Every structure is written in C-alpha cells, then in structure tokens.
C-alpha cells in the first residue's frame, strides 16, 4: 500500500502540471485600473530602466593617469631689478598637481620668544629671522599678469579594465601637427589638449586679475562617459572648469578665506652667515580631476532588468484584487467566484446529517 502511494506521488510530481485558477471579471472600472497600472509599469521598464538608466548594460570605471606641462616666459621689473621668469620659477609640482605662481612678496617669519627683555626698546627678544614678516601689503598689480597667455598641456590616459579598453585624450585626429597649432575652445576645438590660462580662468567663472592678485583654485574635470556598444573611437573626453575656492561673485568681505597662498624659503650663505629669503606666493592651484563611466551590453543585467519588470507587473493584480474583494459593492460575489472552499470529511457528514 505504501509503495503504491509513493509511486503515485512520484508519478503526480513528475507527470502532472498545476496552474492557478483564473477568474475573468467583466468590470470596466477594475479593467481600466488594471490596464493603467500595467501601462505605467511598462513605461517605467522601457523609459526609465532601459533608456534612461540603461539597465541592459554593465558598467566600468577607468584607471587614470595625468601628465601636465606648462609653457610661458614672464618678465618683471621691481624697483629697477629686472627678472625673467620661466617654468622652473613659477611652477611648483611638489605642492599639488600643478601650482602656478602669480604674485609674491619677500618676507621673514617671526620666531621663538627667548624670555629676555630688551630695555632699550621695551620689547621682548625673539629668536627669529630678521626682519620679522609683515604680510599686510600684497604687490599690486600682480607680478606675473603675463601668465594669462601661458599655455597648459594636459595628457591623460584611461583604462577600463573590465572591457579591456585603453584611451588617451590624444584621440584620432590629434597628431603633432594639430597640437602645434591648436588652442582649446569649447566649440571650435573641444578636443585640443592645450589650454590658455586666461581661458581656463574665464571658463571657471573667475576674473584673472583677481585670482592673480590673491590666488585661487580651479578644478579641471576630464569627463570620460563612453558607450562601447558603438565604435571605441567615439569614446572622447569632455573638459569642464570649476572655481573651487569660494564663489567668483563674492567680495573679499563676504568670504572667510580669500585666495590661495603658501610660503617657501631660499637659503644661502653670505660672509659665512646663513641667511634666507622667505617668499609668500599667491598663485593658481589646478586640481585635475578625471571622472569616468563606460557602459556595454551584457546579457546578465538585461535578464535581471526584464525579470524585475515582469515581477512588478504583479502589482496590477494585487491592486485589482484589493478593489474587487474589499471595495466594490459586489465584493462577496467576487470572493465566491475567486475562492473555492473545501470541507473536511467530518464537515461533510455533519452537513448530511443536518439534512
């Protein structure tokens, strides 16, 4: 007996198919609600998941490297002292990605109190470089206003490891002849890797004379947003420029920390005495930021998106069932049509005895 039951159960399991019972309800209001919900889900899947979010593609972020080179020669004449400034004088790689000196003043920093009082001057003795610093006066106009016409060359390489694609901002058509004569312009030459400093400052929203006087920071964003479902040659960079320190329209009185500057010293010996020249320099700090996002068709996210969309279609059934079974006047009728009630053998005998 048990063996026969087991065989029957296995036979039913492997050779029979069960499907849910469906009830066709002819109700206009419920039908309209169902179709509207299904239409909304369909629009969400096609419009948002596939078109806007591109749910059929996998993504990758690039590994990037940046190389920069500044060109330009400046000339100053301060109190009859002439000087020529080249790249080694006004560019400071150790400070940041790139720091361009625009203005400076010679000063000497205060030192340590010795605890000794100087009666002749009624002051306290300080062990320091002499004379002490007075940084209240900033040279105006800035020393290197000619830097507005300096040029900055940026070479950027990105690799998308998942897709095995490597690109450079020297894309197709950017050869040596083109670089020798091009200058970046957002519309006329958007792929040229050589930038005029005055244009960078202008595109970032700052005024060149103001930023040269007191310093500032500019972010150069290189954006690699690529779709590898089309030819790789269409993956090209886009450049954006942003003033990072303060709002360009703010005045000095409304900004808590104005500009950007730092100090550095040049040490030397004179008559066997160690001396130094301390400079407080004001300049432009360039932060070069590379942001990237590459996409390519992948069957796994595609099936995942489709599966989640099909699951969301079940929302229409749940909502319509709630309306049918709990909100409509004929809800008891629909409950009897939707659910089939079964009785246990005891309940059946009790009902027969009652008859």
pLDDT score of 13: 72
With bands split at pLDDT 50, 70 and 90, how would you rate the model's confidence at 18? Answer: low
pLDDT of residue 215: 83
- pLDDT > 60? residue 256: no
Q: Between these two residues, 141 and 198, which has the higher pLDDT value?
A: 198
Dump pLDDT digits (tens) for 284-305.
Answer: 888 999 999 999 999 999 999 8
Q: Tell me the pLDDT tens digit for each residue of 62-89.
A: 999 998 988 888 888 877 878 888 888 7
**Predicted pLDDT of residue 108:** 41
Mean pLDDT of 109-128: 76
Asked if residue 141 has a cis previous peptide bond (ω within 30° of 0), the answer is yes
> What is the C-alpha to C-alpha distance for residues 333 and 342, in angstroms, rounded to an integer?
17
Of 172, 168, 201, give the one whose Cα is nearest residue 184: 201
pLDDT above 70: residue 124:
yes
Rounded Cα–Cα distance for residues 139 and 215 (Å): 12
Binding residues for ATP: 69-71, 151, 261-263, 280
Q: In this predicted model, which residue has the larger pLDDT, 19 or 197?
A: 197
- pLDDT at residue 229 tops 90: yes
Q: Which residues are annotated as a binding site?
A: 69-71, 151, 261-263, 280
Top mean-pLDDT range of 11-20, 54-63, 116-125, 253-262 = 54-63
- pLDDT score recorded for residue 164: 93
Q: Provide, rounded to the nearest whole percent, the portion of the chain with pLDDT above 90.
A: 28
- Look at residue 94 in the predicted model and tell me its pLDDT: 47
Helix or strand run (H / E) with residue 32? helix 28-43
Mean pLDDT of 319-344: 75
Per-residue model confidence (pLDDT) at position 58? 93
Determine which helix (DSSP H) or strand (DSSP E) holds 165, and give its type and residue range. strand 165-168
More confidently predicted of 275 and 200: 200
Place of tokens 């040659």: 233
Give me the residue spans of the domains in the chain: 60-296, 298-336
Q: Of 167 and 268, which is predicted with more confidence? A: 167
Q: How many CA atoms lie within 13 A of 293 on its CB side?
A: 5
CATH of domain 60-296: 2.60.490.10
- Residue 326 to residue 98: CA distance in whole angstroms: 69
Under the banding of pLDDT at 50, 70 and 90, the label for residue 343 is low
| Measured distance CA(32)–CA(11) in Å, rounded | 43
The confidence band for 151, taking pLDDT boundaries of 50, 70 and 90, is very high
Cβ atoms of residues 24 and 258 within 8 Å: no
**Token representation of residue 118:** 């100087």
The percent of residues in the chain predicted with pLDDT above 70, rounded, is 82
Q: Which of 125, 122, 144 is nearest to 281 (CA)?
A: 144
Residue 96 has pLDDT above 50, yes or no: no
How confident is the model over 198-216, as a mean pLDDT?
Answer: 87
Mean pLDDT of the chain: 81
DSSP string across 99-115? EEEEEEEEE----EEEE
Range of lowest pLDDT (6-15, 26-35, 74-83)? 6-15
Q: What is the mean pLDDT of residues 34-47?
A: 89
Q: Between the ranges 20-24, 161-165, 207-211, 270-274, where is the mean pLDDT highest?
A: 161-165
């Amino acid at each position: 007996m048990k063996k026969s039951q087991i065989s029957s159960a296995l036979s039913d399991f492997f050779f029979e198919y069960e499907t849910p019972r469906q009830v066709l309800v002819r109700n206009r209001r419920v039908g309209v609600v169902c179709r509207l919900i299904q239409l909304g889900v369909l629009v969400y899947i096609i419009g948002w998941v596939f078109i806007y979010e591109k749910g059929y593609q996998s993504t990758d972020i690039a590994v990037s490297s940046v190389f920069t080179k500044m060109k330009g020669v400046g000339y100053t004449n301060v109190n009859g002292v002439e000087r020529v400034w080249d790249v080694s004088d006004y560019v400071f790689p150790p400070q940041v990605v790139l720091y361009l000196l625009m203005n400076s003043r010679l000063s000497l920093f205060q030192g340590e109190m010795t605890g000794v009082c100087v009666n002749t001057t009624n002051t306290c003795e300080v062990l320091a470089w002499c004379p002490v610093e007075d940084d209240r006066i900033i040279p105006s106009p800035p020393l290197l206003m000619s830097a507005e016409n300096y040029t900055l060359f940026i070479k950027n390489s990105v690799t998308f490891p998942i897709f095995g694609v490597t690109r450079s901002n020297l894309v197709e058509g950017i050869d040596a002849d083109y670089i020798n004569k091009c200058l970046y312009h957002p519309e006329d030459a958007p792929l040229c890797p050589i930038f005029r400093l005055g244009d960078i400052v202008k595109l970032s929203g700052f005024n060149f004379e103001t930023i040269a006087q007191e310093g500032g920071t500019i972010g150069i964003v290189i954006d690699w947003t690529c779709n590898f479902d089309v030819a790789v040659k269409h993956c090209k960079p886009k450049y954006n420029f942003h003033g990072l320190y303060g709002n360009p329209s703010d005045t000095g009185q409304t900004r808590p920390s104005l500009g950007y500057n730092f100090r550095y010293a040049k040490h030397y010996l004179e008559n066997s005495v160690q001396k130094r020249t301390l400079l407080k320099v004001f300049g432009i700090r360039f932060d070069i930021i590379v942001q990237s996002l590459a996409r390519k068709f992948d069957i796994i996210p595609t099936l995942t998106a489709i599966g989640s969309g099909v699951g969301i279609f079940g929302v229409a059934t749940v909502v319509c069932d709630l309306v049918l079974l709990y909100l409509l006047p004929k809800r008891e009728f629909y409950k009897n049509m939707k659910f089939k009630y079964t009785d246990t053998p005891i309940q059946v005998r009790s009902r027969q005895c009652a008859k």
